Chains A and B, each alone.
Chain A
Amino acid sequence: MAEALAKISQVQDWGMIQIRADLARAGDAIAGAAGVALPEQGRITTDGSRSLGWMSPDELLLILPRAETAEALAALQDALATEHALALDVSDMRAVFRIQGARALDVLMKLCPTDLAAMPEDGLRRTRAAQVACGIWREPGGYVLIGFRSVTDYLRGILTGAAAPGTQLSPR
């Protein structure tokens, strides 16, 4: 039996904080409190176990170990106290999957109407996977895909289906 195109695994121990603010004004404060550099448009920056993703011109997503979430949220709210800003713990509303392996891109090409091969090395792309919204970025050996918690089973289903053995996209 051939092997699956990629290993699909769910990540359970990440925390996430959604930040909405005028990034031009509050970017430095956010980066300071988050402990990660402010990402450019469409990018994600990483420093150690924390990443900061650019979600929209006025939205960032801080990804960090779940245990550090409360402290980081407090730090952000403190840093943004004088700003018109919003910082929320959204750890529980996400589903996170790793797609690992040499053919991880094949798996995502079956689900996303997006030129992921052309995505910059540190890019973050919000798009859809089959019928649900998702965000995608690279990590060593593959990709991370985040979606909504309620469709975790659906995401697992489409990802493992797209990774079925023998279904690589190269011409035969």
Chain B
Amino acid sequence: MTQTGPFRLPRGGRLIDRAYQLPFRFDGRQMRGVAGDTLASALLANGQLMMGRSFKYHRPRGPIASGAEEPNALLGLGQGGRFEPNQRATTTPLVGGMATTSQNCWPSLNADIGAINNWMYRFFPAGFYYKTFMHPRPFWKHVFEPIIRRSAGLGKAPTEADPDKYEQAYAHVDVVVVGGGIAGLTAARDAGREGKSVWLVEQTPHFGGRTPTDHAEGQARVDALLAELRGMANVTLRRSTQATGLYDHGYLLVRESLADHDPNAGIPRQRLWRLRAGHVIVATGALERPLSFAGNDVPGVILASAVRDYIDNYGVAPGRRIVVVTNNDDAYRTALVALDAGLEVAVVIDARSTAEGALPAAVRARGVRVLTGCAVAGIKGGQAVEAVKICAHSGSGQVTETVDADCVAMSGGWSPVVHLWSHCGGKLNWSDAQSMFAPDPNRPPTGADGKAMASCVGAAAGDLLVSELTGAQAEAATMPVWVMPAHATRKMKFKMWLDFQNDVKVSDVELAAQEGYHSVEHTKRYTTLGMATDQGKVSNINGLAVLSNALNQPIPATGTTTFRPPYTPLTLGTIAGEARGEIFQPLRKTPMHGWHEAQGAFFEPVGHWRRPYCYPKGGESHGDAVAREIRAVRASVGTLDASTLGKIIVKGPDAGKFLDMMYTGMMSTLPVGKCRYGLICNENGFLIDDGVAARLSEDTWLVHTTTGGADRMHGHFEDWLQCEWWDWKVWTANVTEQWAQVAVVGPKARVLLERLGGQIDLSPEALPFMGWIEGEIAGIPARVYRISFSGELSFEVAVPANRGLELWEKLHEAGRDLNITPYGTEAMHVMRAEKGFIMIGDETDGTVIPQDLGMSWAISKKKTDYIGKRAQERSFMTDPGRWKLVGLESLDGRVLPDGVYAVDQGVNANGQRKVQGRVTSTYMSPTLDRPIAMGLVRQGPDRMGEVLEFPVAGQESYKARIVDPVFYDKEGSRANG
């Protein structure tokens, strides 16, 4: 036998394999564990009882549990990008070479300066955050906040990107059993025998739960069930898989650990299953509660069940001389397991007046003293238990005896794990007999069919012994013990921990009650009870029982706080799944995207599209590139990749009538072969999209939307067609991506296109402004729209997407001597602003109607109805005081900042300066060589020539004159080339 630590027992440990030793480091010290250890069991085996410090008082802390409920033994794990704080030592499997560090202590775990808080506990009572930091006011900014920020949070956040991979997967399953203990295994077997598809998920790496440790022949019972389950093709068993939350309609989130802490495995670290369960069987067992006695947080005071887990599962002695303190029969099992392992059981302290069941009898028969009607008065020791002071439970703590011990195994009874049941609305009943909340099978969480979507079995259902499956004999009742001893002094209550991680004590909850916090939800937030990383798994019931006593009301009247997912914390990487790096989100690319990239384009996101913002050359700044592109377009010819513009086909005998309802203008009268600019509003009257519609044939239109608007507008059309005018004969199709579209813009645009050759007549006679024509350019089938968003002669050429790059390259080849210049979205924006054209999202923000923008010309007066018409008749919309579109001319040559407000005389009710307008678009115009801007100003068009003031913090106020928004080529002659 190999020695792997002074507290490793010479034999036993059903989950470990002593043949495989695993070295690891804790705070830089080399230690050894064995295969099958958890970090907690390995540390305990090495005699490292103290594993961290509490949050508020920096109290020394060892583990109190052996599973997911552990509030104390939280470690920093790994290094660099793989560093992860707050990992529970009790559930983290030991991996060879692991590097672990203690948290919340400085300079070291043993000598922590923050522990000074511990001596000042009287100054950190419940709600101290709210009480202390209020006054004097300057102290908040200069004293309290800096200190709180430095000490806030448990553990340190990692600073590097996580190099591990994560993934998600979906599955649809008839029955999901959560919990691989004897009740869960049995439920899975029963469902499996019925031929249903069954998943059984178990949070630990082992099936069986408590049964092998707690019940005679337990392992054999578990093995028999597993053998049958493994033979069922319709049953899937997953270990190291944690159900974290149950949501609507059987949606169950489950995290499967695949390569946790093993970066060499080369596979995703974790997988998040998004299950749809026909039915969820909650077989999550129960958790033991601590007892509230003075000093119950000293390292070495451990839950009785955890003590026997460390001995039986890992062959580790949490102490050599153990005192058991209990209010129930179950804890006597710990005494028996400890005795069997050759450890000393100094005494069993039982708060009950009698203890006559089979388990107490068995312990007495081994010669162990059992003190009934007794309690723990206090613990001697700071960083470890040295002795236990004993008193009568009915008294106020008069010490009758002191017993030397290095470990206290405590049990305050058990609470069913009802989280999943409660997440989606399952209700609980209080059981006086067992002092616990248990699921009420008559008030389950319901699914889509209105029937129970979950049910509980075994200990989770309140059947703590599961005698039918485990063969356990009946046990005597648990005595409710919420404070020990019953009449403990105030001083003792200052040392009785409820929430170990957040340092919430019995005295804090009583103070909260005294200060008027009667709702359990309020008390939780005031004291931070149950708000630590363990979310109150061990503290909640004790806390609300103390609150109930303080309020002098029964426990059910107090109720529980809300159980919210996740049951245990989920790594953010798991929630993100595959969505990171290149596939963080879908990036939409046009057929010419690769060309833009090769030219060094600087891209900007427009919806999910990536569009070239500009094409900087050499060391050119973006601003310089934009100016160069604009000058080239206005002087000769440029190309814009307009493929992202939405394209929707609208066809049918009622298509014209339908479009007249969608647009503010008249589309039904558009002649075939012509284009018309149109505005789309929502039913609130607000402008939501714009674009050019072309009539392709008698019954077919092609409408263009904004880049971001294609899917939205197609959905908008379909909504009205399907839900309002379903008898109208109209088909729509979103063909945005079928076409690559190139805007060929500038005085040389026609010259260039004609050079490409093809069966198409682009002359002004054949293709006038706002016309379209179909044909062939450079051998590519094309549709050409003569529309302009820049004010220049402009042709938008649409070709099948697969041939878009070919067209683009041919244009650039043929236009070299014309200084053909690709231009990006910013040049497009500036040029349209020079022309006073609006941009959806700049001049509109969801509160702007077309009338605000001087676009009454685009609103049909003849139509009796269109979407938004009625709303535009509302009094607020027709108010002459609305802010309306104007041009703004900077007085001092500075470019107005975007979005700044023009101030008015006087102040509003809040003492703020009144405003009368704001800037919506603002640029340096390379064409005019001066700043231009547009804005919405109260009664703006009536105030031409007035000067507005735009204050900006830290700068001299900007001043601008109200002018016409069309800055360039007012007569519009350039569009004719």
Contact = CB atoms under 8 A, between A and B. Distances in A.
Interface of A: 18, 20-21, 58, 84-86, 88-93, 106, 109-115, 117-118, 130-132, 148-154, 157-158, 161-162, 164-167, 169, 171-172
Interface stretch (B105-113, B619-627, B732-740): B732-740
A20 B738 CA distance: 17
B236 interface: yes
A92 B733 contact: no
Nearest to A106: B169
Given A149-B737, A171-B238, A118 B172 contact: yes
A151 B587 contact: yes
How many B residues are at the interface, by size bracket? Answer: 35 or more
A21 B589 CA distance: 31
A20 B236 CA distance: 44
Q: Is the interface of A mostly helix, strand, loop or mixed?
A: mixed
B651 interface: yes
Nearest to B200: A171
Contacts of A91: 738, 800, 802
A38 B589 CA distance: 34
Given A92-B737, A92-B802, A171-B236, A154 B266 contact: no
B855 interface: no
B578 A92 contact: no
Contacts of B1: none
A161 B583 contact: yes
27 contacts: A18-B733, A20-B731, A21-B731, A86-B733, A89-B738, A90-B735, A91-B802, A92-B737, A92-B738, A92-B802, A93-B737, A109-B169, A110-B170, A115-B276, A117-B172, A130-B583, A132-B586, A148-B737, A150-B588, A150-B589, A150-B590, A150-B609, A151-B588, A153-B582, A161-B578, A162-B578, A167-B167
Given A86-B651, A112-B170, A171-B237, A157 B735 contact: no
Given A109-B170, A131-B586, A154-B587, A90 B738 contact: yes
Contacts of A86: 649, 651-652, 731, 733
Contacts of A110: 167-170, 578
Given A92-B801, A171-B238, 16 more contacts: A84-B652, A86-B731, A92-B737, A110-B170, A112-B170, A113-B274, A117-B172, A148-B737, A149-B801, A153-B587, A154-B583, A157-B582, A158-B578, A164-B165, A164-B267, A171-B237
Contact of A84 (B267, B274, B579, B653): B653
A158 B267 contact: no
A166 to B, nearest CB: 4
Contact of A162 (B167, B258, B587, B738): B167
A167 B735 CA distance: 37
Interface in B228-249: 236-239
Contacts, number: 112
A53 to B, nearest CB: 15
B736 A84 contact: no
Interface of B: 165, 167-172, 236-239, 258, 265-268, 274, 276, 578-579, 582-583, 585-591, 608-609, 649, 651-653, 729, 731, 733, 735-739, 800-802
A157 B580 CA distance: 11
Given A86-B649, A86-B733, A154-B583, A167 B267 contact: yes
A58 B652 CA distance: 14
Nearest to A22: B729
A111 B802 CA distance: 27
B172 A131 contact: no
B583 A157 contact: yes
Q: Of B258, B733, B736, which is in contact with the most chain A CB atoms at under 10 Å from its CB?
A: B733
Nearest to A132: B586
Contacts of A166: 265-267
Contacts of A169: 169, 171
A109 B589 contact: no
Q: Of B266, B729, B737, which is in contact with the most chain A CB atoms at under 10 Å from its CB?
A: B737
Nearest to B168: A110
Contact of B736 (A21, A93, A131, A162): A93
Nearest to A130: B578
A83 to B, nearest CB: 10
Contacts of B239: 171
Contacts of B236: 171
A145 to B, nearest CB: 14
